[in-house]
Amino acid sequence: MGNASILKKTGDYLNSVKGREAGVSPVCARYAAASGSGQSPVCARDPSGSGQSPVCARYASASGSGQSPVCARDAAASGSGQSPVCARDAAASGSGQSPVCARDAAASGSGQSPVCARDAAASGSGQSPVCARDAAASGSGQSPVCARDAAASGSGQSPVCARDAAASGSGQSPVCARYAAASGSGQSPVCARYAAASGSGQSPVCARYASA
- Cβ contact 141:135 at 8 Å: yes
Any domain includes 51? no
Q: Work out how many domains the chain is built from and give that number.
A: 1
Cut 0.75: pTM above it: no
Any domain includes 103? no
- Cβ contact 141:176 at 8 Å: yes
pLDDT band (50, 70, 90) for residue 10: very low
As a whole number, mean pLDDT of residues 103-122 equals: 51
Each residue of 115-162: pLDDT tens digit? 555 555 555 454 555 555 555 555 454 555 555 555 555 455 555 555
Any domain includes 94? no
Any domain includes 110? no
The per-type count for the chain, helices as H runs and strands as E runs, is 14, 0
Any domain includes 162? yes
Residue 19: the pLDDT is 38
The domain in which residue 211 lies consists of 144-212
